[in-house]
Amino acid sequence: MICMPNFTPEDLLLYHAGELSDSDSEAIANELSTNWALREKFNVFVEAVNRLNAMQLQSPRKQTVQSIMRYAMRKRVIV
């Protein structure tokens, strides 16, 4: 159970994604309805998620990926 009002950014992320238990989701929803500062943080988070989802992503150039892979092979560490 999430302890009010100490909600972390991870809690807000899980709430936004619908990945919390019903009781935790209800606790956050209740706090969002009464806590202006938390609601503002959540709204900023939602806006950031929406902007990221709207961005058109590009794959890196093949040369870039090959350079990274060559570097990784040189730096291989045996644990």
pLDDT (tens digit, 9 = 90+) per residue, 32-47? Answer: 999 999 999 999 999 9
pTM: 0.64
Report which of residues 1 and 55 the model is more confident about.
55
Residue 42 counted as domain residue: yes
The structural domain count of the chain equals 1
Residue 1 counted as domain residue: no
Q: Which of the four pLDDT bands, split at 50, 70 and 90, describes residue 77?
A: low
> What are the CA-CA distances from residue 57 to residues 15, 47, 53 (Å)?
25, 18, 9
Q: Domain residues for 24?
A: 9-74
Q: Which of the four pLDDT bands, split at 50, 70 and 90, describes residue 4?
A: very low
- What mean pLDDT do residues 9-26 have? 94
CA 62 to CA 65: how far, in whole Å?
5
Residue 51 counted as domain residue: yes
DSSP designation for 20 = S
